[in-house]
């Protein structure tokens, strides 16, 4: 299997590159990444000399480059994306360019060159928000996102991802392209850029700085370890049905406040480091993923508990100050 994987120097992408090379010994991976602020080749030092891996510095919006790289490839894994909601509020343009226009370039080239399968990595944020429930005292059957939930994006980031998803599915309907879409809940784990919630709070705490929590801290997210999501992506590649969408979650709904307090507890630090700040615009109140379709069709379930995954992640950041200290 020859794979063009875009965005492979990012958090999820680099984990997926390492996972593929370890778990699929006959696969060859070409990693196309523009190396924007969130891309980090240090994430891939251990595979740089692997003969089944090559890195190409480039832009998925560059049609000529994309077509040249797709010659002879069997699979596209599109993970290239601008992904931070706060940045999309400040300026939506980079998100439209990469997440929508870049996906269009990849789809056109893949269809033109007869690439066997196109997998689009999306997000639970395209669904909007769910009614709030207390993760510590949930009702018997709380509402969660299914693959049939309507799209209702509420930030420029999630709107750009929803647009890309619709474009991907249109290529299946219109051109018969073999496409699969995977939507993951909030990923976490080692090597995540410090702008994201968990690494931000860990690195702030390790520096003895205040931990800024939006609003009342009761926004709920479903956390999935990045290794579990990588497993899900490969399951969708190998067993997913053409034109289908698959949700992946960690079965780990937590309020932001619960997450931050757990981080402080893991580090043995006092809660007076918590600082509540003005909430961001359009902050979705709750996400929760129903991943029963992935369990039934792909034989996938998360393996990491949130408690074990968070402890492992906090430990990694404690041991790797040199890595996160270099990030802008």
Positions marked catalytic = 124-125, 157
Q: Which two tokens stand for residue 37?
A: 């602020």
Q: Which two tokens stand for residue 278?
A: 């003005």
- What gap in Å lies between CA 218 and CA 222, rounded to an integer? 13
Contacts of 226 (CB under 8 A, 6+ apart): 11, 12, 15, 187, 188, 189, 192
First-to-last C-alpha distance (Å) of the chain: 36
Q: Which two tokens stand for residue 312?
A: 């492992």
Give CA torsion, residues 137, 142, 144, 148, to 10 deg: 180
Number of Cβ within a 10 Å radius of residue 123: 21
- What gap in Å lies between CA 326 and CA 194, rounded to an integer? 10
């Amino acid at each position: 299997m020859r794979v063009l994987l875009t965005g492979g120097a990012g958090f999820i992408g680099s984990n997926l590159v390492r996972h593929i090379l370890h778990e699929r010994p006959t696969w060859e991976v070409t990693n196309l990444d523009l190396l924007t602020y969130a891309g980090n080749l240090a994430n891939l030092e251990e595979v740089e000399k692997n003969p089944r891996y090559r890195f190409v510095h480039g832009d998925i919006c560059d049609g000529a480059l994309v077509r040249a790289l797709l010659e002879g490839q069997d699979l596209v894994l599109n993970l290239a994306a601008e992904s931070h909601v706060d940045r999309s509020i400040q300026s939506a343009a980079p998100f439209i360019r990469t997440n929508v226009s870049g996906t269009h370039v990849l789809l056109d080239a893949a269809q033109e060159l007869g690439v066997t399968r196109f997998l689009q990595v999306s997000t639970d944020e395209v669904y909007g928000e769910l009614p709030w429930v207390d993760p510590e005292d949930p009702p018997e059957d709380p509402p969660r996102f299914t693959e049939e939930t309507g799209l209702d994006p509420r930030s420029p980031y999630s709107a750009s991802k929803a647009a890309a998803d619709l474009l991907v599915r249109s290529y299946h309907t219109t051109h018969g392209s073999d496409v699969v879409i995977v939507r993951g809940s909030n990923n976490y784990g080692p090597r995540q850029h410090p702008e994201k919630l968990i690494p931000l709070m860990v690195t702030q705490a390790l520096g003895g700085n205040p931990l800024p929590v939006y609003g009342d801290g009761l926004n709920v997210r479903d956390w999935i370890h990045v290794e579990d999501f990588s497993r899900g992506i490969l399951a969708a590649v190998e067993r997913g049905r053409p034109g289908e969408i698959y949700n992946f979650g960690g079965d780990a709904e937590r309020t932001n406040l619960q997450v931050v307090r757990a981080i402080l507890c893991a580090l043995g630090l006092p809660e007076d480091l918590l600082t509540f700040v003005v909430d961001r615009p359009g902050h979705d109140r709750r996400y929760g993923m129903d991943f029963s379709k992935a369990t039934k069709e792909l034989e996938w379930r998360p393996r990491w508990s949130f408690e074990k995954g968070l402890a492992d992640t906090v430990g990694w950041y404690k041991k790797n100050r040199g890595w996160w200290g270099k990030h802008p």
